[in-house]
Amino acid sequence: MENKLRLRFLKEGKAKYISHLDLMETMKRAFLRAGIKLKYSQGFNPHPNISIALPLSVGCASLAELIDFKTEDYLLPDGLPDLLNNVLPDGIRVYEAYIPFVKFNLIKWVLIKAVLYYKETPQNIAKNLMNRFSVDCITVSKKTKRGITDINLKQHFRDIKFNVDEAVTMSVLLSAQEPSINPQNLMSALSGEYKYLAPDFAAFTRIEIYNKDLNVFR
């Protein structure tokens, strides 16, 4: 009896440099090594019924990755995290397994936290960054299936905050789908006359995923 299950897992350390396609292959091999028989699609070129929500940019860490899969045999979710963690590489760890009741298309927001590094932190950097992202229109170019198009970035993020301690930290909710906004889209707003605000290096982490009502997506 087949069943559908969902895993929540993290991707950090060296694993954050694994591409989306390589992550899919990594998870497939982990299921195989754990003795979990995946359900395959029908047709001329069958493939396992496995999907990862919201492909993550290479170099971005995540504490909130989601993967759905179907199995040939009925499995209880409780023991799956330990079973898979025994065969997964360093930097990928499953921390929850359960039966899903809502589809990935109901995801709307992702919480991103970033550390922005500057060789010399500009004076009043947090205030200037907040001023930049507080204007009504922030036009940036975004790559889509139809090519490069300009969008008003301001319509697709919310609750942005900056703090300066030893480094500059940022937290922000980004639109996850329709359109999908990634941290690099946000950083592209720091160009041209705002280039002085662009960090020399930025490290991003996906913290959580939400639906349109800002409830944690499960």
The HSE-up count of residue 104 (CA atoms within 13 Å, CB side) is 18
* CA–CA distances in Å: residue 157 to residues 7, 132, 133: 26, 13, 10
Could you give all domains of the chain from N- to C-terminal order, each with its CATH number?
3-101 (3.30.70.580), 106-211 (3.30.70)
Give the amino acid at 212.
K
* CA–CA distances in Å: residue 106 to residues 82, 178, 212, 218: 28, 11, 7, 10
Is residue 6 within 8 A of residue 107, CB to CB? The reply is: no
Is residue 194 within 8 A of residue 134, CB to CB? The reply is: no
So what's the pLDDT on residue 2? 56
So what's the pLDDT on residue 97? 96
So what's the pLDDT on residue 185? 93
Bridge-based pairing of strands 61-71 and 50-52 is antiparallel
Cα–Cα distance between 16 and 31 in angstroms, integer? 20
pLDDT tens by residue, the chain, 218 residues: 558 999 999 999 999 999 999 999 999 999 999 999 998 877 777 778 899 999 999 999 999 999 999 988 888 899 999 999 999 999 999 999 999 999 999 999 999 999 999 988 777 888 999 999 999 999 998 887 777 888 999 999 999 999 888 789 999 999 999 899 999 999 999 999 999 999 999 999 999 999 999 999 99
Say if residue 179 is preceded by a cis peptide, omega within 30 of 0.
Answer: yes
Cα–Cα distance between 215 and 32 in angstroms, integer? 33
Output the pTM of the full model: 0.90
